[in-house]
Every structure is written in C-alpha cells, then in structure tokens.
Amino acid sequence: MLAGKRILLIIGGGIAAYKSLDLIRRLRERGAAVTPVLTRAGTEFVTPLSVSALAGEKVYTDLFDLTDEAEMGHIQLSRVADLVVVAPATADLMAKMAHGHANDLASTLLMATDTPVLMAPAMNVRMWEHPATQRNLAQLLGDGLRVVGPNAGDMACGEYGPGRMSEPLEIVAAIETALGQGPLAGKRILVTSGPTHEPIDPVRYIANRSSGAQGTAIARALASLGAEVVFVTGPADVPAPQGVKVVRVETAQQMLTAVEAALPADAAVFAAAVADWRVASSSGSKIKKDAGRLPVLEFAENPDILATVSQRKTDRPRLVVGFAAETDDVIANATAKRARKGCDWIVANDVSPATGIMGGTENAVHLITVEGREDWPRMSKQQVAAQLAARIAQALV
Ligand code: C5P
C-alpha cells in the first residue's frame, strides 16, 4: 500500500505516455497522491486535462508559469514528493538528467530534487541500444537513480527488442520497492544463472547453450519486489540485471563455492545450467595438435549444487527452487528430480530444439511442488519470472 505517499510523476514525450495515465490510476487506487508534471513533448501524446483529471490535481507543464511560482516555486515542487518517477523516461530526458541540463520544468525539477528518482525508460530499440543512451544510463545508475525496465517486445514503431516501457503494475512494484515496501523487502534470495564453462586447457572449454536469460529475468523480478538478490552467474550471453549483487564464476566448482558463501538466504533459485561433468585433469598449457594423435579427455562428475544446498543440515534456505530442462518425459523426470534432489519446487520445461526455448525469449513451464503440478501457458521469460517471483513472495510471507 502507498497510503500517505506522494509521487511526483514526470511524463515525458513518448508513445508510452498513455500507460502513465493508467499508472496514475494504479497509484491512486493504492492510496498514493500524484503530482503530475508533463513535458512539452508529453503534451503531444496525452493532454493536460486527462492527466489532471486522473490525478485529481493540477498538472504542471511550464517552468515560467508565474502564478505557480507565486503558489509553489519549482524548488518547492521538486521537494513535495517521497519519490520522483519519470515515466516514460525518453532518450532526451535521460540525456538531460545525465548531463545536468535544467532548461525546462521537468529537467529543472530533476536537478533541484532531494528525493530519490525512479525512471521507466521507453524508446525505440536502436535509441535504447545507442552507445550514448547506454553511457547516460551508466552515468545515471552511478548517480544513484533507480531504473525499471525497459522490457523487450513489439514496439509501437514496428520494431522488436528492448525499449518498451514497463507495464504500470511493474512500475508500481518498483515504486513500492523504492519506498521500501516491496513484498520481498528484507528477504535475501540467491539466484544461479547461465551456463558453466569447464576448461579442457587454458584456451578451450566445454559449455552448453544456456543464455542466462531466464535466470537474469528471475533475479530482476525478485529485486523489483524488494528482495536483496545475490546473483551467481556463469558466463552468460545476456547482461546481469541492475540492483543485484553479481558474483561471476566460470566452473561448476566455483559456482558451488560462491553459492555456499552467499548463504544464509531465505530462498534460492537454481536456474543455472550447470555442466554435469568437467575434464578430470584439465591441462595447464594448451594441448598441442599432434598429427595422427587425438587427445583423450577423461571426465569427472561435478558437484550437484542444487542437491547439496537442498540437503544441507544448517542454513538450508526455507524455499529451494530447482529447474529441470528436459527433452523427454518432462513431467515424470522433473517430478522424480524434485524428490531425488530434495528441493521444494521444480520449474520444468521442454528444451527440445523444436520448442525454441533454449536461447529464445519465451518459455512454457510446469511448476512441480509437493502438492502437485501446475501447467503455465507459454509466455515471455520475463512473465515467467514475474509469476515465479510473485509465488516466491507468497511462499515466504
Ligand atoms: O540434474 P539436472 O541438471 O537436470 O538438474 C537441473 C537443476 O539442478 C537445475 O536447477 C540446476 O541449476 C541444478 N544443478 C545444479 N548443479 C549441477 C547440476 C544441476 O545445481 N551440477
């Protein structure tokens, strides 16, 4: 609940501004008061009348509005809130914030405020990925701003990729977290993610096709509900999420050491695709290619991190969640795996190449618990993560 909280909401000029109208409703439903500020470009997408009608308050648009200066100066306006939220945060607004411009009401408020700032970026995928935007993002994170999103998906401009503004309820969750009110506030959760690399020699290794996308999305979703997340990741394709403690490892043995060092935790989610075997005696120097002679690799079994943690006598997390990536008899194998490893839940999925799940953006999972099994519909990995994080929050209350 956000009763008694005041949000200063800066609405930038992007097509995602329409979602900010719904955001105002969601915030007011939860008891928050909203002071809306609309940039000049924002007025091209939503009208001041709709914004003020939904907020039930005057909308501020202009820096040099003398009546407002008499009523409330821009400095005072920047200080009335518990949190400043910029949604949508356009590439231009991010650039202004990163460089300290103060040439309109929104940028001046952002410079003058002494309250925390949360931004929800929204822009075309190329603009988001542009080195200038990524530089500005790094600067803003370094300055202590919080970020929610953007999400990947179809965009109004017809392209696909990261750049969609987070949905209003995701922004509400981020606001609650920023105000220390997320459902997982005070909970510490460990997440493993990505593949492991098992060296053959200093330049060669054995790996698997895990991208780390699902584990990264889970860590992000848990953090957005307020959890303190320790994210132990192998060498993944996707960047680690913001706002979590990242521990980078390469091998299964290193991952186990990092996981044990991260305990105690309230819950642990083992989404990493850990290599089952390592090369028993990897060579300290590069194995030479000898004409006519093939190297023979001997394997040793890697530690099973999930089973090790599930069966710990001390410091076992209250909720241990494993994954089961299967290509045959998904449910039967995953149910047996839950019992064998001793974890509480198994998230099972079919990773046959035809499903396009491994390395793809979507997932279709079954949640297997002691009570039975739930079949979740095929959805984006972000949605799977959000649903799983919400279930974890319910289980830990
Ligand atoms: O046995 P399998 O690899 O199919 O089990 C998958 C689950 O076990 C995943 O949750 C994975 O993160 C975990 N696991 C592990 N350590 C291993 C192998 C798998 O933690 N050595």
Supply the pLDDT for residue 80. 86
- 272 CB under 6 A from ligand 1? yes
249 lines ligand 1 (CB under 6 A): no
Nearest protein Cα to ligand 1, atom 2: 324
**Is residue 133 located within the same domain as residue 249?**
no
pTM of the model: 0.77
Q: Do residues 232 and 259 make contact, with C-beta atoms less than 8 angstroms apart? A: yes
Q: Residue 338 domain-assigned?
A: yes
Q: At 91, phi and psi to the nearest 5?
A: -60, -40
CA distance 136 to 203: 35
- C-alpha 94/C-alpha 97 separation (Å) is 5
- Residue 55 in any domain: the answer is yes
> Cα of 219 to ligand 1 centre, how many Å?
17
Q: Is the CB of 213 under 6 A from ligand 1?
A: no
For residue 241, report the distance from its CA to the centre of ligand 1, in Å.
22
List all residues 6 or more positions away from 108 whose beta carbon is below 8 Å from its beta carbon: 63, 74, 78, 102
pLDDT given at position 124: 93
pLDDT digits (tens, 9 = 90+) for 16-63: 999 999 999 999 999 999 999 999 999 999 999 999 999 999 999 986
Is 348's C-beta closer than 6 angstroms to any atom of ligand 1?
A: no
Angstrom distance (rounded) from CA 348 to CA 372 = 13
CA of 41 to the centre of ligand 1 (A): 50
Residues noted as catalytic: 157
Residues of the chain predicted below pLDDT 50: none
199 and 174: one domain? Answer: no
Q: Which of 191, 192, 190 is nearest to 264 (CA)?
A: 190
Question: Does 1 fall in a domain?
Answer: no
194 Cβ inside 6 Å of ligand 1: no
Tell me, yes or no, whether 269 lies in a domain. Answer: yes
Q: How far apart are CA 328 and CA 232, in angstroms?
A: 28
Note whether residue 297 is domain-resident: yes
- Predicted confidence at residue 70, as pLDDT, reads 62
Q: Please say which residue of 178, 213, 237 terminates a domain.
A: 178
Bridge partners, 293 (sequence order): 290
Domain that holds residue 96: 6-178
User: Domain with 318 in it: what CATH number?
Assistant: 3.40.50.10300
| Atom of ligand 1 at shortest range from CA of 252 | 21
